[in-house]
Amino acid sequence: MGDLLSTLPFSPFRWRTNPQINRRASGLVQPGLSAAFDACASTHKLTGAADKRYSLGMIGGRWRSIMSYDENDAAMDAFYDEMREQLYPEIINEFTTERLQSYFLAFPEAAKPAYLALEESRKLRDAGFFSAAFLFAVIATEVAVKTALLKPIVYGLIHNLPTSTLITDIVIRNGLDKIENLLFESLKSVAEIDLKSFCRPTSNQKLWDEIKSLQKKRDLLVHRAEMSSSTDTEKAISVASEVLDSIFPTVIKAIYLHLHECGRICNDSLCELEGRYSPELIEKLRSQRNANA
């Protein structure tokens, strides 16, 4: 992965180490961010591969060893540090409802995998397979946060379409702690949802803290085979439900779209007539509208 990143014109490693490429790559992001990327390139100069004097050091707020941390890792840390410290205000100012709409209309089933994972979790819970149900519930939450909420935000900041998907995928592969501020500010701006203080109606703990706590228990289950209790499973399902059945629909409604089964996103205003008028009449209205378009 590191070798691939270092060859791409928009690689964080190459942004840091090659100002010429940095200026060219800065055209991939929305206007207003280029200056910040130029500053990032000059601020975060990396030492060469041969310079390994510091075998252990405090990098990006965490202790890292050379065995598991190289120049590409350092560049990625620098990239996120710069986003947190300098880019968030500009990102939020650049962000618009139209960009979110365009993403969801291009990918109307972006949230479907998360909804299916939550459905599978409930089935496993009902069958008494609590650890499996817990795992699928945490998967549903993480996919919902990264794919249905964060990904459209990052995607909308990149106006070079051939590369937007790849850059977005690189960003969302990182842990939630690296992207939480971007997510918080964007949701607050678009849908007036404050994830910093948001709590489920039946919980005194902040939802974001619950999500991160459940991720840690997920890791213990996967890597140490520490089985999940029925209580943990119910909590994980409740958290996933809050994200998918409350927060995500609120965001979709805020950008003047609506949801159908399995989180399918739609902008057809005639859907509001369903249940009040016959399907035949609604289909006739759609045909007339399309003919006049």
**Which amino acid, residue 215?**
Q
The answer to whether residue 55 is domain-embedded is no
The whole-angstrom separation of Cα 157 and Cα 164 is 9
Residues 217, 234 share a domain: yes
The answer to whether residue 56 is domain-embedded is no
The whole-angstrom separation of Cα 82 and Cα 182 is 12
Which two three-digit tokens encode residue 280?
Answer: 């035949």
Q: What are the residues whose beta carbons fall under 8 Å from the beta carbon of 174, sequence distance 6 or more? A: 76, 80
Nearest to 87 by CA among 185, 19, 20, 7: 185
The whole-angstrom separation of Cα 135 and Cα 221 is 8
Chain-centre distance for alpha carbon 3: 24
Average pLDDT over residues 131-152: 94
pLDDT digits (tens, 9 = 90+) for 203-234: 999 999 999 999 999 999 999 999 999 999 99
The answer to whether residue 206 is domain-embedded is yes
Residues 260, 134 share a domain: yes
Residues 237, 288 share a domain: yes
Residues 73, 39 share a domain: yes
Residues 164, 108 share a domain: yes
Residues 190, 160 share a domain: yes
- CB neighbours of residue 89 within 10 Å: 12
Domain tally, the chain: 2
The answer to whether residue 60 is domain-embedded is no
The answer to whether residue 76 is domain-embedded is yes
Residues 164, 20 share a domain: no
The answer to whether residue 267 is domain-embedded is yes
The whole-angstrom separation of Cα 246 and Cα 232 is 20
Residues 105, 86 share a domain: no
Q: Which domain holds residue 113?
A: 96-293
The whole-angstrom separation of Cα 47 and Cα 64 is 15
The residue among 55, 73, 94 that closes a domain is 94
Is the entire prediction scored with pTM above 0.75?
no
Which two three-digit tokens encode residue 244?
Answer: 């998918």
The whole-angstrom separation of Cα 208 and Cα 99 is 25
Tokens 């009902």 belong to which residue?
126
The whole-angstrom separation of Cα 148 and Cα 115 is 10
126-130, 189-193, 206-210: lowest mean pLDDT where? 189-193
The answer to whether residue 285 is domain-embedded is yes
pLDDT digits (tens, 9 = 90+) for 229-253: 999 999 999 999 999 999 999 999 9
Residues 265, 166 share a domain: yes
Residues 180, 87 share a domain: no
Residues 148, 74 share a domain: no
The answer to whether residue 51 is domain-embedded is no
Tokens 């405090």 belong to which residue?
58
Q: Whole-number mean pLDDT of the chain?
A: 75
The whole-angstrom separation of Cα 127 and Cα 230 is 12
Residues 284, 240 share a domain: yes
